Every structure is written in C-alpha cells, then in structure tokens.
Structure 1
C-alpha cells in the first residue's frame, strides 16, 4: 500500500515562491527591548511540550493555512519594510522569529580604514552574552587614517611549482597564458594582510580546520580588478566600478596592470594550458611520480540567462584561478539547459552552434555544452514507475526533479575527469577559488570513515564544541549512547553507518563495489579506514536524514517497490557538491538499469549510503547577521525537538540570516554591500567615502546571490 507524507511533513515555506520570499532583517530595538524579548538559552536536557500533539486534524489544517498566510505577509513586506522599521522608534510587538531578538552584527561593514593585524583583531561576536563592542566603543572617524593602514599584497595560495620538494613528487608545471602568443600571463589577485577590526568570526565551520587563510581579507579592486573591474572598456575592462570608492586601489593596479579581455576565448586558453601540462595527468606515470587528478567545474546555466558584468568577473576568476593558474588541474564547463524542447540540438551541428552562440557570451562559447530535457528522455527512457510522492508535480525528466540526469550524462561523455563539481550560477566566493576548492578536497581526503556519517549530519560550532578533534570525540560518545529503537532501524538505517547499507526491504539494487566493504568491524577500527581516500561526495550543508524532518521532498523516491517501506536515504540542501567519477557512474547505472532515482538533493547522498561510498560535509565558514547564543544555535540546528523544528523543513527560517543556504537573504545583501551597492538604505559609495571605506571580507561562500549591481551614488 502506498505510503504518503503526513500533514506535518508538508511545509508552507515551500509553497511560497522562494524568489519572492524576501529576507527580513528586522532591526534591534533598544537594550531594554532586547532584554525584554530575548529568549533564554536552553540546554539539551530541556524537553518542551509539543503544542500540536493533541490538536485535531482540522486544527492542524487550520494551523497550516494560517502559517502560509503569515509567511506570505512577511514575504510581501520584504527587506525594505524591515529597514524602514530600523529608522523608526522600536515597537512593542514581538518579532516574527526569536533569533531576530539577537543583536545585529555590524562589523562586516567596517571598511579598509579599520584594518588591523591579527594580533590587534577583536571579533564583534559576544555570542549574546553582552552588547557588542560596536555599541560600547568610541569609534570616531577622526582616529582613522584616510588611507588603508596596510598595503595590498599578491595572494598566491599555490604550491611552489618549481621547488625541489614539489618536483620530487610531481611532474613539472608549465606556466599558462591568456593568449596564444603567450604574452599575457594569467593574472594574480590581491588581498590585504589583516581584517577589519570587529568583523565577526563564523558561527559554524572553520578556516583553520580546512587549511584556509583567515588572517587576510579581500576587497573588490584586489579581488575583481585583475578581471576587468575598475577600468574602462577602451583598456579591455568592463567599465564598472570606476565611480566606486577607490582609496588605495592604485597600489593594486600598479602591480596588476590592466588586462585586455575584449577578445578572450577561455576554451582555447584552457586547452592550451592542459596540453602544456598533460604529463601531470597521465594515467600511467612513467617517471614514477604521482598523478594529479583532474576536475571538471560545471556551471549550471540555461538559455535566456542574463550574464551581467558583475557575474562575468566571478566567472573569469573561476577559470583563471582554477584552471590556468593551476596548470590545468581544473577545466571550467558551462552545462547549458536548452529550455525549448523543440530545438533538435542533438540532430544538427549547425543548430547546436547557432543556439550556443545566441545565448552564451562569446568568451565562453568553447567551454559550453548544451543539453535539453527532451534529450534526457531519450538517454534515460521511461518507464520510471513507483514514485512515492511527487510533491513538485513535475516530470521525472524535468530539471527541477532530476538535475543530476545531465550531470550523469556529462560525466559519461567526459571520463577523463576524476571529479565533477556541480556549481550554481548564484554562487559567489569572495576569496580565492583554487584555495577553497582544493583545500576542501584535501581535508575530505584526510577524514576517517569511522563516525563520518554521524559527524556529517551535524553543524560543527567551534565555540560550542571546541576544535574538530574534540567534536569528533563528542560525536563518537554520543553515537554510542543512542538507543536504537525499531522505527529508527526502519527509517534511518543503522547507527552508526559502516560500509554499504542495503539491508532493507527492496526490490533489487546493484551490488556495491568490493572496495567499499569495511576491512574491520566498527569497534576494531582506530579511525584508520578512509584516511587518504578521496571523498566520493563533498557537500556544503549537513547530510541529514529526511525521514526525521518535514522536508517537503523527502518522499520523492522513484523506482523502488511502493508496497515496501520507503528506502532509508540521506540528503544535503543545495545540489552544490563535488562528485567522484565512481559515484556518478553508479548513479548512472542505477538510473538506466534499475530505474532508480530521487530528488536531486537526495540522490547522490542516498547512493553513497546504499553503496558504501565516502560522503563528507565540509564545514566551511558560515556567518550570521545576528549574534546568536551558541548553545541555542546548537539546540536549533543539531537537536530540533520535533520534525517540524528541523532547519531542513519549517525551521529553515533560522538560516535566513546566514551567509549560505538555499534561501538565505543575508548572503546576497552582504555581497552587494561588498560590491559597494547601497542595500536597504545603508551602504553605497557616499557612505563608504564618508565612513570607513569599502568593505573587506575574508573568503566567504555566498549563496544565493540573485542580483548584483555596483554603487549608484
């Protein structure tokens, strides 16, 4: 008998168009109001009564409708209404969400004139224990120098390619250029060797743990200037940023100069770079040196996408830093969804090329690959029977429900890549791309398999848990204490997960690879298995169990017998991930042979779970616009009291003020302020010039950024 989601599994937030659900940055009131409305910190021992437990079915429906109406009204009010409140006197009405009672952190907006060395730096975070230093200190602008107190420096996170140490292990790296004549070297970017005083530190994740530099910051001229920002089109730039606050930027252009991008062909540049360095990637290293793995960095775009100038800067940065500066370790590809299914892109090379040139900027023509949903229907033909619940109400071949189909297809067409990064067009990174992606891969490779699924399902909050070694020990102890009830075995799978998990009622699956079988028992392993093994899946939010949340797509599982329970599975919100060729091959085989598939954010983690592949949540640094009390944050994110409290369901409002989530509002607002744009009545060129200068951020992964513009003042 078919099992359907219960009412409590439905989520009114998902019904609201996320593009219209504006992030509400409600301002703080007076200190009196703050203490009046602040929620007290809780401990894990607290057990709140469930107010919904005794409600009738009718009341629950009424509650769901009321929730939808309230959320729609909040979305309609939007960010600008919240800012208007900020400038008026406080109101004695409770704010919609308790986290909005926490103090707002303003240190992000301190500019270059406040730069300090690591020894002088004091973060703004007080973790809600007292009012932040921005409310206590006398910060008269007369005390600040008119110029940044530190000078920008070339930022180079790459190994010393020419060192004897590197050459003992790897083949020589040959320098790559933008042009065929090799007159224009791949440019460098520039950073400041310090951070703005009182800038906040991330609430979860860590720079140090991942091997990322945390004592430098990037402002827009040093980060984007080498890619055409801040100089005129006559010099090969984009002609944007010229009116921006630019004190000290001359020191950057003195070093970087102006690069002419007017006739850039990134596809040819990438190919030349690979050809020069091909020996590094050969399967059989005749010299006995180590082979370097290759990565495809796949940007998911579509026909009709509006490539604005500010995005061109970020795309150029990706290609230069990941591919050209690394000697060809990465290739950036555009996987372009042709939305018009009537265009036979697979039948005519002429139509294919005309379609590509119509919708893509010229500089990206030679790195773009077209695909369509109609093409996927032929590649993975029907039938796909036995879906448990299609909450999206769309076709199994539609990109919304099967974004992994074209990625699987792409990997089959490009077996030369060991890893494929699935990247979205609304992602931005304020730091160095090669450093971020490479360090995360190296960190994941070092992780032992023991307790990995259990660690990866949680947010690591350093202020709460200590360092990652302590966090690992804590999770191990907590895992040992878990009482595994019968329903947990049915819904979650065993705790802990150890090797392939196919011991559940199912109507047939492909066998797991032999090499994924554990060499010892869980108890006998001393955190050794998996160390040095490349991760098959790296995600950027926790790998959670959908059955323990009311995530609306939890039951979008296809091809498994509906007379049996829905299979155990895992998921990670946002499809952004690094996937190994091994994982993509198994996903492809399960799809075409067994007709198995799931919602895109669930399919790769579930395949890893079933086949014993190595899956990792990389704890990259994530910031919040509010000074959360970390005990409360740990409760909310790691120990929701009921399934509807989960941050991966109705509780997702807790992530609106984060720098990374699928519908974060703070993320885009922070990015635009960094670009110099006024946002909600704050920031912009005049404020930067009259205040502390332009912003300077540590490397931060932003998602989503739905729009970006420069200063208009």
Structure 2
C-alpha cells in the first residue's frame, strides 16, 4: 500500500474545560483532569502525523549531485519523525524512534589505541601481537615499552604481474612501459611501503587480507603512499605543498629513484591515451554490437566457455597469446564538489596505479553531474568547457563525461516518469530519473557509449584506499572469479568475521549448515516470481549460467573461473522485512503481484560487468522498471541469474568489541545473516557501523584517515564512552615528533569511507 509522504494529524476537538475547573481546590478533580490531559497529549504525540515510512541521516555522496536540494528534504523528513517520535516498519507496525536517552551499546567498549602507534614500533609478522582481536592467552602488547629511535627504510613495491618474465611473456602480448610525458622520459613512479607491521595495531574484524590475496605483512605511511604524486613538496617543484608542514622524518627516501615529479602541466587524458595506444594489441577489441535492442546480449558467454585464443567479442588472436579485457573506473562527481589538494593526490594515485602501471588494463573516467537541466552542455562547447573550468582541476578535464537528469528523462523512456508507473514506496520523494534514486542510469548510458570496456568500477569521491589501487581491484576481481555459485547468494548475505568463523572453509561449511537448517532452497540461477519478464538474450535461448553449471556437472565447480558480473564491498542482503529505509522503492512492476524479490548492497561502490549493465539498461528502457540505486544492480543479477559476489575486504573497528557481540550485531537478521527481520541495515541497527572503517555513517573512518595524514584530531574519548568529534585533541606534528614517541602512523591496506574532509583548513573554508 502506498502511503503519502506526510499525512496531517487526525482531526481532534478537545472538550471545553474551564480554567477554574483545572485550577480548582478539589485535589481529586485536579489529579483526574491533569492525568487525562497528559494521556491525551501523549496519545496525540505518539499517534498523529502518520504515514511516515522511515528516515535516514544519510546523503549518498555519489548522488549528491544536488546535495542542497536532497539534503534539505531529508533533514525535513528527519525532523518530522523526531517530532512524531515514531517510525513505521516494513509491516507498518509502529516502533519508537531512536532517542539520545538510549546510548548505543558499543559505547561501553574501550577505544583501541594500536592504530596510532608509528613507524618506529614496526616489527616482523612473527613478532606482531594485535591489540584486538587477540588469541586466547595472549597478553595485550600495549602500552608499548622500550626506546623507539630507529626509523625503518621504505621499499618500492609493485603489484602488477612481472611483465618481463618468461612465464608472463609466454601467454601475453608484450607490455610497453607507460610514461607521464610525451617524450618517454618520466616513467610512472613506484609506491613505497614498509616491511612489517606496527606492534599492537588491531587486526581487521571483518574480512581478510590474505583471503583476497592482499598483502598483510607490509604497511603504508602517508609519504610512501602519496609522496610520488606531490605530497611533501611545494607547487614551485610541481607538488601540492600539503605535507610540508607536518612530521616528515626520512620522507626523502620515496623520491630517491623518481625525484620530485613536476605535475604542473600534466594532462591525464593524454597520458592514459598514449599508454593505451602503445599497448592496444594486448586487449580485446571493442564490442561493436551496441544497439539498444541487442545490448543485453553482449557478454552472454564467459571466457571459460571459449577457446583460449578467442576473445569475448568473437575476434581471433594468435592462439598462443591471450587478449585481456579492459576495465573502466568511473568516479561519480558533480557540479559544486569542492576539490582539494588531497583529492587531487588520490586521483593521481588511482590513474598511475591502475592505468599507467598496468599498461592500460584500467582507464579512469569522471562522470560529472550537471544539476542545471537548462545548461546546453551538448549543444555549446563553450558552456561545457565553462562547467569544467568551474568544477574540475585542469589536469582531469579530459577524463570528464558530462550528464544531466534531463538527459536521463530522454533516454528512459521518452514519455517521462509517468510511463514507469507507481512506486511501491518513495520515501525520499525524489524523481525516478533523479540521481538519488537512479544513480545507475548514467552509468548504464556510459557503458552503452564505451564498448571498449568489459567491466565498470563505480566509485565515489569520498573513498580512500591505504595501499596500491591495482592490488585492490585486481585481487578483488581474481577472488570473485574463483568463487563457486553454489550457495554464493547465501554467503553473500553474511559478514565474514575470521576471529569468530575461523577459516573461509569453516565459514563456507557454516553457511551450508545454516542454509540446510533454514529450509530455504539455495539460489543458483535466475529466480522466478509473478510478473517476471525475460530480457532478449533469455528469449533467444541464451541464459547467463556458464557451462560449468550444466546438469550433471559438479555443483561445487559451478561458476568457478567465471568473471563476476557484480562485485560489492558490503554484504548483499534480502531487502524484504529488513527495515532498510528504501527496501520498497520499487517502480514499474505490476502492483497486483507481490513486490519482486530484491537484494541490496549498501554503498554503491562496486564492479559491474557490461552484461549486467546491459540487463539493467533493457529492464529500464524496455520494461520501465526501476529500483533504488543500491538495490537495482544486485536485484537484476538475482532475477536473471548473473554472478554477484560480496568480497569481504578488511574492515576495522575503533573499539574492543566482544567478538560474539560483533557477530550478533552484524549477522543479526534471518538465519544468522544480514537479511530480513533484525537486519543490521534496519534504521534502528545501523548505528552499529559507526565505529567501522567502511560504512556511509562511520564516525571512525574520517578520524583514522586524518590522523594517518598527520593532522591532530579529537580522539572521540570522553564521559559516557565518547563519540566522534568529542574528546581530546590528539596526533599531529607535535605528538608524532615527541621524543621517545613512535613517529608517524603506518597502516596496512584498508578501504576508508566516508572521508568528508582532510586538511583541518577545509572546515574553516566550509
């Protein structure tokens, strides 16, 4: 049933009560009247203003692209709910809203200190003891004792294959080195890391480095990570100036080979184009069959179903050499985004590590949302250039693709929003073509116009990676391809907590037992439901399951070696009864049927295959179906039998939680998962993510990142457990240079989100 966004309180007329009656001398009368009045007012407070579905403090940064308008609406929405004191759950049962009088349970846990020890406390993996979680019987390594005076030396690292090795050359085309300059004098620089782990640094509680093939025996300081891109030297030398006024002992080592590179006149579009041109024979040719009617048929077959010498596009290469598929990294930005020097560093790093050092395997793009639908950004080159000049640093101009919501209304479909039909619910009140509800639409169109890419990473401006981007994206892709489809959806809906679940094999066995005991059938291929429609490739008898899943095959090998159509960085959960605020933001399906089955992964950062985007495009354009941005990709994979994988990357906690409480809080839903009733994504449960290093509402992620950059931060400590932004100013130059201290921080590889600001001056400017 569709509820109005806000409903007026019910009409009510209070009985006339004379003032002298209320204030009269009869004590019993006064007690009765005041009691009735209080109960009456309480009832009005609790039961008026109905029709509110839920609220959220979130504004998705990838969809800000209009942040002022959307944020204002959501703030008003939140204020109304706080005023009414109630929420409506998925079954319309009233539940009390969170109040400040109910502090989160995790405030009772002690803050962890091991993150903030520095380089001088570096030890070998065999001597390392984490502060948390610790093995039974291990003593806490903190506080550290000893005299820390030795500063270790960083080592250059590369995470791409050894392109010159005989083993690589035997099966691949020659790789030609990419340079920053047109004269091939300045090669893409190396990153520097430290061998070892800082003593006492906590282990990730969720996910695992080693499971994904990411190194966990090295750590990164800010200069080894960003020094090659301009951190630590001034603009007169081609740097960014940031990092010259913070602790920097020994940072010269990171420029020992490359020198301080001058980035003042760089054009990254030209750099990437030159790199690809040199190496274009390495890659599969573009898929030229890109008409609207056939897009969903692209990539219907997988690599393992073809001879080694035949690409996905059907062209033939020399039989002894393998052509690679290319991947686009599409970063969502918008008019009005405030670029900073640290943001520039981050995207220089991404281009260098993903594109140049891989010799063109990845290409970085920016998808720039123009809010004003009246801007003639396609008809007037000067207007488009002015948008770029006003909103993007010049070095990135050539990487930008401009788009607007007016363009999406022309594409999906010509008739406008009314052609989509009524939404089951629309909690945000936004347009179905708007970026808040349908951020995937411009990505679908981008894929349509870029047939050269097989996969598309959807990325956001406020995400950071401590480590080498190539190691992250390459290892995620390899691990996902190796996953069996057997009980994959069931593994996807659970958090993997190694200290609780043990090895991945133990976790897989646990999921199998829980699936069997639940009485639910495991999902393997496409799901059937009332009103389901086939896309054209299915109509043509070409389903998306690979040959390894054919009848009679080993179920455990189903999908092994198959590239994932969707890789997410949070669990993929069942939206039904989950309490997630946008669970019923479903548009265009016949309302006399039950709402289709839906899957969601919070945070849109993910890798999508061309064929998944093709299915999404056809469902949007041909069938006029739409769902909320974080729900549509995973749901389309579920409906049509595409391979979706949650990759359990390392996620850290800021406090010393009891391990069983972590499991109960995050796998709190149906059948010990993140799905259904009790889900950690229920509005009342999402606070459990505030102390993690990766979630949209995290209070810890930004604090940890800024401390790592070398800036003092309020440590979040204090009475009642403390919260983000409270406590004592800690870290920064003075503390890192303290005699007897351990120096600047050195973290193992981790994703950090959200990072809303980096240099303290940004707060003053905002």
Scaled to the shorter chain, the TM-score interval is 0.7 to 0.9
Residues 1:105 and 2:112 aligned together: yes
The answer to whether the 8 Å contact 2:172/2:322 transfers is: yes
By how many angstroms is 1:117 displaced?
1.1
Matched, 1:453 2:453: no
Instruction: Kindly indicate whether the alpha-carbon contact (under 8 Å) linking 1:129 and 1:629 is maintained by their aligned counterparts in 2.
Output: no
Deviation of the 1:287 alpha carbon: 2.1
Counterpart check, 1:651 vs 2:675: no
Structure 1 pair 427–348 and aligned structure 2 pair: CA distance change class (3 A): same
**Deviations 1:663-710, CA, capped at 9 Å, x for gaps:** 111011100000011111111110111132110001110011011016
Could you state the TM-score of these two structures normalised by the residue count of structure 2? 0.79
> What is residue 297 of structure 1 aligned with on the other side?
329
Cα distance between partner residues in 2 of 1:522 and 1:461: 34
Does residue 577 of structure 1 match 2:601? no
State the Cα distance separating 1:286 from its structure 2 match: 2.8
Note if contact 1:424-1:576 (Cα within 8 Å) is conserved in structure 2.
Answer: yes
Counterparts of 2:432 and 2:621 in 1: how far apart (Å)? Answer: 13
Structure 1 gaps of 5+ residues are 20-56, 75-94, 485-494
Q: Indicate conservation of the 8 Å contact 2:690/2:699, yes or no.
A: yes
Q: Does 1:667 align with 2:705?
A: no
From 155, 158, 161, the equivalent of 2:160 is 158
From the superposition, tell whether residues 59 and 671 of structure 1 become closer, same or farther in structure 2 (CA, over 3 Å): closer
- The equivalent of 1:377 in structure 2 is 409
What do the CA deviations read for 1:549-603 (whole angstroms, capped 9, x no partner)? 1001000001101111110010000011000000001100110000011000000
Which of the residues 542, 547, 550 maps onto 2:576?
547
Which residue matches 1:125? 132
1:386 aligned residue:
422
- The 3-state SS of whatever aligns with 1:185 is coil
Q: Deviations over 1:374-423 (max 9, x none)?
A: 11111113221121001110111110001000000000000110000000
The answer to whether residue 322 in structure 2 is matched with residue 286 in structure 1 is no
Question: Which residue does the alignment assign to 1:537?
Answer: 566
In structure 2, the residue corresponding to 1:386 is in which secondary structure? Answer: coil
> What is the TM-score of this pair, normalised by structure 1?
0.85
The separation in 1 between residues aligned to 2:603 and 2:445, in whole angstroms, is 20
Q: Deviations over 1:416-446 (max 9, x none)?
A: 1000000000000010000000010000001
Deviation (angstroms), 1:352: 2.0
- The answer to whether the Cα contact below 8 Å between 1:431 and 1:699 also exists between their aligned partners in 2 is yes
> Once the two structures are superposed, what CA deviation does each residue of 1:218-253 show, in whole Å capped at 9, x if it has no partner?
000111000000011111111111111111212222
| Preserved contact between residue 133 and residue 203 of structure 2 (Cα < 8 Å) | no
For 2:317 and 2:58, locate their aligned partners in 1 and report how far apart those are by CA, in whole Å: 58
How many correspondences in the alignment?
Answer: 636
Match of 2:594 in 1: 565
CA offset digits 1:53-94 (Å, max 9, x no partner): xxxx998779979635x25xx9xxxxxxxxxxxxxxxxxxxx
Secondary structure of 1:479's counterpart equals helix
Contact 1:507–1:561 (Cα < 8 Å) also in 2? no
Aligned in 2, Cα 1:662/1:58: closer, same or farther, shift over 3 Å? closer
Say which SS state the counterpart of residue 548 (structure 1) adopts. coil
2:705 and 2:206 map into 1 onto residues whose CA distance is 19
What is the CA distance between 1:496 and its match in structure 2?
Answer: 0.7
- The Cα shift of 1:470 comes to 1.6
- The partner residue of 1:364 within 367, 378, 396 is 396
1:629 aligns with 2:658: yes
**Local SS of the residue matching 1:562:** coil
Equivalences for residues 243-642 of structure 1 within 5 A: 243-283=245-285, 284-288=315-319, 289-381=321-413, 382=416, 383-484=419-520, 495-501=521-527, 503-506=528-531, 508-510=533-535, 513=538, 514-517=542-545, 525-640=554-669
Q: Against the structure 1 CA distance between its residues 60 and 610, is the aligned structure 2 distance closer, same or farther, given a 3 Å change threshold? A: closer
Q: Is residue 2:179 matched to residue 1:177?
A: yes
- Secondary structure in 2 aligned to 1:582? helix
8 Å CA contact retained: 2:325, 2:453: yes
CA distance in structure 1 between the aligned counterparts of 2:269 and 2:396, rounded to whole angstroms: 7
**Hey, what's the Cα distance between the residues in 1 that align with 2:751 and 2:543?**
34
Give the structure 1 partner of residue 746 of structure 2. 696
Aligned equivalents of 2:58, 2:361: Cα separation in 1: 41
Q: Deviations over 1:196-217 (max 9, x none)?
A: 1000000011111100000000
Tell me the distance in 2 between the aligned counterparts of 1:507 and 1:622: 37
RMSD: 2.8
Detail structure 1 runs of 4+ shifted over 3 Å in the superposition. Answer: 1-5, 7-13, 15-19, 57-66, 126-132, 282-285, 517-526, 640-645
Corresponding residue for 2:730? Answer: 682
Query: Whole-Å Cα distance in 2 between the matches of residues 402 and 621 of structure 1?
Result: 29
Cα–Cα, structure 1 residues 186 and 652, in superposed 2: closer, same or farther, change >3 Å? Answer: same
Q: Which runs of 5+ in 2 are unaligned?
A: 6-46, 62-83, 286-314, 715-728
| Alpha-carbon distance in 1 for matches of 2:358, 2:58 | 43
Name the SS of the counterpart of 2:195 in structure 1.
coil
Equivalent pair of 1:205/1:621 in contact (CA under 8 Å): yes
Q: Deviations over 1:477-514 (max 9, x none)?
A: 21111134xxxxxxxxxx3112011x211164436642
Q: Secondary structure at the match of 2:622?
A: helix
Q: Is the 8 A contact 1:557 1:598 kept in 2?
A: yes
Measure, in 1, the Cα distance between the counterparts of 2:359 and 2:206.
33
Does the 8 Å contact 1:575/1:600 carry over to 2? yes
- Structure 1 residues 60 and 437: alpha-carbon distance in aligned structure 2, compared to 1, 3 A threshold: closer
Contact 1:114–1:692 under 8 Å retained in 2: yes
In 2 relative to 1, CA 252–452 (structure 1 residues): closer, same or farther, beyond 3 Å?
A: same
Map of 1:14 onto structure 2: 56
C-alpha deviation, 1:3, in angstroms: 8.8
Aligned to 2:148: 145
Match of 1:211 in 2: 213
**CA–CA distance in structure 2, aligned partners of residues 568 and 235 of structure 1:** 56
Partners in 2 of 1:602 and 1:521 — Cα distance? Answer: 29
Q: Say whether the 8 Å CA contact 2:58–2:697 is kept in structure 1.
A: no
> What SS does the corresponding residue of 2:176 show, helix, strand or coil?
coil
Distance 1:507 1:12, change over 3 A: closer
Higher mean C-alpha displacement, 343-352 vs 163-172: 343-352
Tell me how far 1:711 sits from its aligned partner: 9.5
Per-residue CA shift, 1:592-622, capped at 9, x if unaligned? 0000110000000000000000000000000
